[in-house]
Amino acid sequence: MGFKTIDNKVSFRKWNDWEKEDCVAGFFIEESVDKTYGKPQYKIDVTDCSWDEKLVGTKLMLNGAGKLNANLPSVPKGTKIRVTFNGKSVMESGIHEGKEVNDITLDVDQDDILDGIVAAQEKVNAASTPMTSEEEAKALGL
């Protein structure tokens, strides 16, 4: 049996330092707010990293970005995710039309999501009082 030293240090990498096709995978640990800029950030426990194998087994903080901000808050903590940087793109519509943004792909382990839905459904089924459809949807994370 091998041992690895546990380090609570959290690494960080600015999106401007990412190169096209850089990819990191790991377990989604928590969402927080950056103290300096007041923007969302997401901590993962790294299981795979394309640019630095030494990050495997450590924590990495990801700055918020459009696709992460829109999708990660609904992902259950502990779910395995993969984030891939596709380079920069220009927004074609919306309030940021014409602005260059980080083009990121977020993949979520389907088995983890299914386990989370089953657990939520069990909570719904175990409720001692009937739930409204709105309460049931909230419990299921919908």
Mean pLDDT of 16-29: 95
Q: What is the pLDDT of residue 91?
A: 86
pLDDT above 60 for 101 = yes
Tell me the CB-side half-sphere exposure of residue 99, using CA atoms within 13 A. 8
Domain-embedded: residue 2: no
Q: How many domains does the chain have?
A: 2
Q: What is the pLDDT of residue 142?
A: 63
Mean pLDDT of 49-71: 92
Over the stretch 32-55, which tens digit does the pLDDT of each residue have? 999 998 999 999 999 999 999 999
Domain-embedded: residue 38: yes
- Shortest CA distance to 12 belongs to which of 21, 47, 34? 34
Let me know whether 18 and 87 are in one domain. Answer: yes
| Its pTM surpasses 0.95 | no
Q: What is the pLDDT of residue 80?
A: 93
Q: In Å, what is the CA distance from 7 to each residue of 55, 77, 136?
A: 11, 20, 39
Let me know whether 72 and 136 are in one domain. Answer: no
